Chains A and B, each alone.
Chain A
Amino acid sequence: MPTFSLIINTETHQVDVSPDTPLLWVLRDELHLKGTKFGCGIGQCGACTVHLNGIAVRSCSLPVASAAKGKITTIEGLSKDGSHALQKAWIELDVPQCGYCQVGQLMSASALLIRKPHPTDVEIDAAMSGNLCRCGTYSRIRKAIKLAASKNG
């Protein structure tokens, strides 16, 4: 097995896995960063969203070999203590129902806010429509993104 060096949440990790292993399974099975979720395996639901160099990517469809050179941020690295404006907004508006997709939603939303600190509805739609929420919490997610954005000054 080849060894890959990954920079995840500012720490460097060495993993011995086959090069076709999706980043998702490296995170979950090798590094025990289980906040990132498996949902569809083909980049259709967004449950596995992480940041690669600040951009939202679907880790289920990203081979580890392609991720090895970038900076990866997972939910565990979004903030140390749940203090990211989006995390606070999610709690304030009681967004989750089952909660399974919400990590992916937060990672997509946080990547959006990096690019667009004050996104429009259209921009929110475009950034968030790759993330399914089977429980249908979309209206609260939208409100929470706006709430967090409003604190961006």
Chain B
Amino acid sequence: MKNGIKSLGIENGTPSNDLKRRDFLKLSGLAGAGLIISIGLLDSRNAKAAAAKGIFEPSAYLKIGSDGKIIIMSKNPEIGQGVKTSMPQIIAEELEVDWKQIEVVQAPLNNSLGDQFAGGSTAIKENFTELRKAGAAAKEMLIEAASRKWKVPLNECYASEGFVFRKNTNDKFSYAELAEAASKLNVRENPKLKEKKDYKLIGKAIGGVDNSKIVTGNMEFGIDARPKGMVVASIERCPVFGGKAKNIDDTEALKIPGVEKVIQLDPTQNPTRMVAGVAVIAKNTWTAMKGRKALKIEWDYQGGEIESDLNLKTQLEKNINSKGELLRNDGNVEEAFAKSTKVIEAVYEAPFLAHAPMEPMNYIADVRSDGVDVWGPTQVPGSVRQLATIITGLAGDKIKVMMTRVGGGFGRRLMADYAYEAIYLSKTIGKPVQVVWTREDDMQHDFYRPAGMFKMKGALDENNKLTAWQINASTTSRYDFRGSSDPSYSTEVFPDGFPAGFVPNFRMEYLPAKSKVPRGAWRAPGHNITAWLDQSFLDEMANLAGKDPVAFRLELLGEEDKEMPYSDHGGPVYSTRRLKNVITLAAEKANWNQPATKGTYRGFAAHFMFGAYIAEVVTISMRSTQTIKIEKVVAVCDCGIVINLSGAMNQLEGGIIDGLSSATNGAIHIESGRVKEGNFDDYKMMRMKDAPEIEVHLVDSDESPEGLGEMSLPPVSAALCNAIFRATGKRIRKLPINSEQEKLQVF
């Protein structure tokens, strides 16, 4: 267990925990009378923080002004996962304020806030206690301030809706009236936290704090920032991974009015080894794009052009049929396979995927001799600062990172490559530069979801119970790509994932495949494939056993409730009680035990990841013998305590759409060392007309809360493929479903 860092995809050293090891809360003076509480680190967490290098300890600001303003600083990047609403919601709960009294402000990157990032669905789970303590500590100090003013004991005072009241009287002070006095008090280190039954805000549906700005077009995303004197860069990158420019002719580009400069990005000549490219810098975006088209570049592909889907497939096939690194070996699979008369062997295959967030990659840097200002969409503002230091030589405190709302992340913006380009170019030309990628740039220079192939072999015993399970996996490991010291299989396969531990003979082997194609974290890393193949293959075994897929899973999990060891992010254990519960509930909500409506077919899948439990039923209908419509998805999720009901449902619905979209049509193809797809016309994503009805149920739980940005995605592809098997007898073992080989059209 590495505290989940493996799944976070943090790279390029998002600032290691150079956090000030302050006491839990530190009170600092504020310009003008008022109270600022910055939450530092919990002592109990320091050890963990040190162990978990690269993972970030939580902190936040709460500002109550004498002017009546209550400002909660939102510290993490908002990428659509809803933290700008849900994290302040937790503080406000304990602070005892009406939500309408709160103003949420996005914090810039700020040392005193600790580390700030978005990844691994960790914000809520990692910050829940600290945020509550921040709210509660402030509330207790405000109560103390009131008790001193009234000269009455603390227990005669209580807080509610932004006021401190004196019991059995009509006396009250607003928080604004108490702010100055409270700011002079010692910080409450261990404030009393509310019980779940007393929650007024946590668990309620709260609309996104930026919604008004979003619907009026007034929301500033990274691409909208406009520092004075800004120029725009459009960069032509080597289309083949690993290549470099041999000859650049910029004559025509420089003739275009408005084009100012052409600058080569040579990986060997710059400190961050950016992808080789040529930047055209112009007075505005369109001119930069036009100038770029006028470039004539001869590339040296450095041998990268030989890579293709075909030779990757050859490599993967060889790997799954070779002896791999042994990751798990329970019992003796060979013996079990030899003894069994009911054995299935099947090969599953999953492609590279692009992230394709709606806001294209872009970043702005203003590098001056005395400091750097940067704006833009990123999941890792700390990485940006660190890279700015490397490029400019300026200390971190001279680098101001403005965090704008982010138009989607999905793991793509854990990589800050485009920010480095902006910083490098601004430093080179001495002006503020905005780098804007086109959609084609994004599609062809992503850090893709690793592709992989998996040989599955399963056996039943004489009682039709699952007795053996073997997986020989090979993927283009993302940890290998980044040159990490972590093992290649990290976040590619999960040796403790279900059904491991429930099959007496279980073997897992892994071999990485070599590739120059950049790989990165893609929503629910690893799980986005493993849930599909495990839950599909379980369905194959259930079918072989002649058992109902839900009953087969429940039988496998057993009647006794267990805590299963789980060494990955979301561990150290998972609960079979909670897993069985979501399975049972999903079956119930989807009327699984009743026959499906005539003409419809259902598939089931369930999964544990990142601490949350989810089960899903997909219902499809046959529109013709080869045309399938996805009609409905029912999902039941146990994520512990739900913070924002509306946000939670939104995340789960969105993950389901993303999972169906990628399962049906998602694929990045490599030919001659480059990506074939270029835009949304050939990288198809689900649209409204194909979006099924989605019904989400959240388990009422007292367990600690888990994030929800990723969980609903992984099992839905399996539930869909299992439904397709029911409908057609055809087992989908290669994604995407709508490929040339398959005769099916699923929408």
Contact = CB atoms under 8 A, between A and B. Distances in A.
Contact of B687 (A99, A132, A139): A132
A25 B208 contact: no
Interface residues on B, range: 35 or more
A134 interface: yes
A87 B284 contact: no
A1 B226 CA distance: 23
Interface stretch (B166-174, B317-325, B401-409): B401-409
Q: How large is the interface on A (under 10, 10 to 19, 20 to 34, 35 or more residues)?
A: 35 or more
A108 to B, nearest CB: 10
Interface in B653-694: 653-658, 661, 679-681, 685-689, 691, 693-694
B219 interface: yes
A75 B286 contact: no
A103 interface: yes
A134 B408 contact: yes
A119 B218 CA distance: 28
Contact of A99 (B206, B214, B356, B694): B214
A140 B650 contact: yes
Contact of A42 (B208, B210, B650, B681): B681
A14 interface: no
Contacts of A44: 679-681
A146 B444 CA distance: 38
B438 interface: yes
B257 interface: yes
Contacts of B360: 38-39
Given A38-B436, A39-B360, A82-B215, A98 B408 contact: yes
A129 B408 contact: no
Given A36-B217, A38-B223, A41-B438, A134 B358 contact: yes
B267 interface: no
A32 B226 contact: yes
A71 interface: no
Nearest to B652: A136
B46 interface: no
B216 interface: yes
Nearest to A126: B689
A51 interface: no
Contact of B215 (A38, A90, A134): A90
A29 interface: yes
Interface of A: 1, 17-18, 20-22, 25, 28-30, 32-42, 44-45, 47, 74-76, 78-79, 81-82, 86-87, 90-92, 94-103, 106, 124-126, 128-142
Interface of B: 78-82, 205-208, 210-212, 214-221, 223-224, 226, 232, 257, 284-287, 290, 356-360, 405-410, 436, 438-440, 646-647, 650-651, 653-658, 661, 679-681, 685-689, 691, 693-694
29 contacts: A21-B286, A30-B284, A39-B358, A40-B679, A42-B439, A44-B679, A45-B358, A75-B216, A76-B217, A81-B216, A82-B212, A86-B215, A87-B216, A91-B211, A92-B207, A94-B205, A96-B211, A97-B654, A101-B407, A102-B215, A131-B687, A131-B688, A134-B358, A134-B410, A135-B358, A135-B657, A140-B650, A140-B653, A142-B688
